[in-house]
Structure 1
Amino acid sequence: MEKRINRSPGEKESLHAVYKVPSGDGPYVRAKHAQLVQKDPEAAIVLFWKAINAGDRVDSALKDMAVVMKQLDRTEEAIEAIMSFRGLCSRNAQESLDNVLIDLYKKCGKVDEQIDLLRRKLRLIYHGEAFNGKPTKTARSHGKKFQVSIKQETSRILGNLGWAYMQKTNYMAAEVVYRKAQMIDPDANKACNLGFCLIKQARYEEARSVLEEVVEAKLPGSEDIRSRNRAEELLLDLESRQPPSLLSNIVCLDLEDEFVHGLEDLESKWGPLRPKRLPIFEEISNFKNQLAC
């Protein structure tokens, strides 16, 4: 039998302030209490299910339940729950559910599903349908709210997409994506990944140029010691490599046609505000021409 805890108004107010537990006494509030105050994730999941079945703050209940399931390594179950019940959620909740799904796919190694979802999110951005048509959205991290622009979100998604292609060892596709991300919103971490992709293609001088921008603190995020250390490690790795042979320069690496066509078919917009074709699409076409065998 579910145990109800009666608390004074002052105690409830204190819980809300300290643990961010919402007010009320429905199953969703009790689930958050179990999750944040009692530190009982299994009980929280049961109560989140009750909240979903009762129609109590379903948007938040489904997302929060999936996050707790992920923490308990019940990733497959969390994916199934989102796919089965997201139809009960509002339109405004779909984007955050997609973000949770991406993390779940990443954790359980579902790279193809991750790539498909990231591409779909990019299409929404280029059609002006992300953020409900607004140029920014409010996000939350570690309990703090901040504004995210379409530009930042596009670069973030591209960074995730590039990483997914790296997991499939498709370094050509990853390179194209990282170059596009750097054109939009450059940072040191993505520069390191781009440098790594170029090294894997034996394009050492290009990789050196990209990585030196991190070491010389020319990019946002270069002050992050992890990015600087990684760039320095990759540059040391370059020193031990032989110059690429002529043969390696003419090897035709397979850049997925579906990937290229998928990007080229996107609406040529910069969110709802930039109608001109993005330069990266021209770059992708150039890559295809250069790789023609």
Structure 2
Amino acid sequence: MKKSSTKKDDLFHLIHKVPQGDSPYVKAKHAQLVEKNPEAAVVLFWKAINAGDKVDSALKDMAVVMKQLNRSEQAIEAIRSFRSRCSKQAQESLDNVLIDLYKKCGKVDDQIDLIKRKLRLIYQGEIFNGKPTKTARSHGKKFQVSVKQETSRLLGNLGWAYMQKSDYLTAEVVYRKAQMIDPDANKACNLGVCLIKQGRFDDARSVLGEVLQGRIPGSEDMRARNRARELLMELEPFQPPLEFSDIMGLDDHDFFNGLELLMNEWAPFRSKRLPIFEEISSFRDQLAC
């Protein structure tokens, strides 16, 4: 009977992804993941930190729960106040949580400063505690992240921060660098926005077109494709000027329409069509009969 009970306990902890025991940290995780009581979880995470119980995980988890409760400002202060109690290995994860919290609070300058500091650590070879990869977790699944991927991710965050400051030229430079290192469709869409904001519509069409044509990793993601499509639709009122070479080789009907559009661009202030187009239209109508 005791063995059966132990197996049930093991299965329970495996299903709910909570550690075993009755320490403050275990109770906090139980409140967070099983009871779905974030307020109680925060109180218990505080107790775990004060008791020195798994401080690395307790501080990070508490900050994440606080963010969910729209208490991001408090989460920032908690990390700043207690990260000195955490190990060196935990600092990188805490920085990543801080970046998200700064973004949530609109603390753009703090976000930029922290991302630049993390990029400087990459340059100095000090990221991932000197290892070429690290293990990350998303939606309960573990995967490996390379230094190259992390660099591109941070540059993407930096580009987004500059966009919030309406510094689209700097954001463009950062996004282009990120795409050179490890391209993806989401950053391509953000790059397209930067180009649109600068009035560089042809460049934006080119970048967004690569997403729809599946030339960039992540282009199969429907959210990225839909966003690229929406941005291209916004560009429709800003069609590029029709070049004379664009209308050569068309059939007669399209040729005359295209030629008229071109001439109207050359004479945009005319309220009436040039006489030659009246003659062409008349001649075209006769041919149609």
* TM-score, scaled to structure 1: 0.78
Q: Percent identity?
A: 77
Unaligned 5+ runs, structure 1:
1-7, 245-293
Q: CA deviation at 1:179?
A: 0.2
Greater helix fraction, Structure 1 or Structure 2: 2
| Cα distance per residue 1:180-199 (max 9 Å; x no partner) | 00000111111111111111
Q: For the aligned residues, what is the CA RMSD?
A: 1.4
Alignment of 1:276-291 (within 5 A): none
State the alpha-carbon separation in 1 of the partners of residues 38 and 193 from structure 2. 39
State the alpha-carbon separation in 2 of the partners of residues 243 and 117 from structure 1. 40
Which structure is higher in RCO with an 8 Å CA cutoff and minimum separation 6? Answer: 1
**Could you tell me which of 190, 194, 205 is aligned with 1:193?**
190
Q: CA deviation at 1:14?
A: 2.4
**Could you tell me which of 146, 151, 158 is aligned with 2:148?**
151
The answer to whether the aligner puts 1:77 opposite 2:74 as a matched pair is: yes
- 1:162 corresponds in structure 2 to 159
**Could you tell me which of 203, 210, 217 is aligned with 2:200?**
203
- 1:177 corresponds in structure 2 to 174
Q: In the comparison of the two structures, how many residue pairs are matched?
A: 237
The answer to whether the aligner puts 1:55 opposite 2:45 as a matched pair is: no
- 2:9 corresponds in structure 1 to 12
State the alpha-carbon separation in 1 of the partners of residues 9 and 68 from structure 2. 26
- 1:120 corresponds in structure 2 to 117
Alpha carbons 2:202, 2:240 under 8 Å: kept: no
Instruction: Specify the code of the residue in structure 2 equivalent to 1:113.
Output: D
Unaligned 5+ runs, structure 2:
242-289
The 3-state SS of whatever aligns with 2:235 is: helix
State the alpha-carbon separation in 2 of the partners of residues 71 and 11 from structure 1. 31
| Cα distance per residue 1:118-144 (max 9 Å; x no partner) | 111111111110001111000011111
State the alpha-carbon separation in 1 of the partners of residues 238 and 105 from structure 2. 34
The 3-state SS of whatever aligns with 2:35 is: coil
State the alpha-carbon separation in 2 of the partners of residues 85 and 66 from structure 1. 11
The answer to whether the aligner puts 1:212 opposite 2:173 as a matched pair is: no
Q: CA deviation at 1:242?
A: 6.4
| Cα distance per residue 1:8-45 (max 9 Å; x no partner) | 53443122111111122211111111111111111111
- 2:264 corresponds in structure 1 to none
Instruction: Specify the code of the residue in structure 2 equivalent to 1:213.
Output: E
| Cα distance per residue 1:215-269 (max 9 Å; x no partner) | 111111111111112212222222212669xxxxxxxxxxxxxxxxxxxxxxxxx
- 2:260 corresponds in structure 1 to none
Alignment of 1:232-247 (within 5 A): 232-241=229-238
State the alpha-carbon separation in 1 of the partners of residues 186 and 114 from structure 2. 22
The answer to whether the aligner puts 1:99 opposite 2:92 as a matched pair is: no
The 3-state SS of whatever aligns with 1:39 is: coil
The answer to whether the aligner puts 1:224 opposite 2:227 as a matched pair is: no
State the alpha-carbon separation in 2 of the partners of residues 124 and 196 from structure 1. 29
State the alpha-carbon separation in 1 of the partners of residues 148 and 102 from structure 2. 24
Instruction: Specify the code of the residue in structure 2 equivalent to 1:98.
Output: D
Instruction: Specify the code of the residue in structure 2 equivalent to 1:174.
Output: A
State the alpha-carbon separation in 1 of the partners of residues 107 and 239 from structure 2. 35
State the alpha-carbon separation in 1 of the partners of residues 61 and 234 from structure 2. 42
**Could you tell me which of 5, 26, 30 is aligned with 2:27?**
30
Q: CA deviation at 1:113?
A: 0.8
State the alpha-carbon separation in 2 of the partners of residues 11 and 86 from structure 1. 36
State the alpha-carbon separation in 1 of the partners of residues 207 and 126 from structure 2. 33
Alpha carbons 2:195, 2:201 under 8 Å: kept: yes
| Cα distance per residue 1:30-89 (max 9 Å; x no partner) | 111111111111111111111101111000000001111111111111110000000000
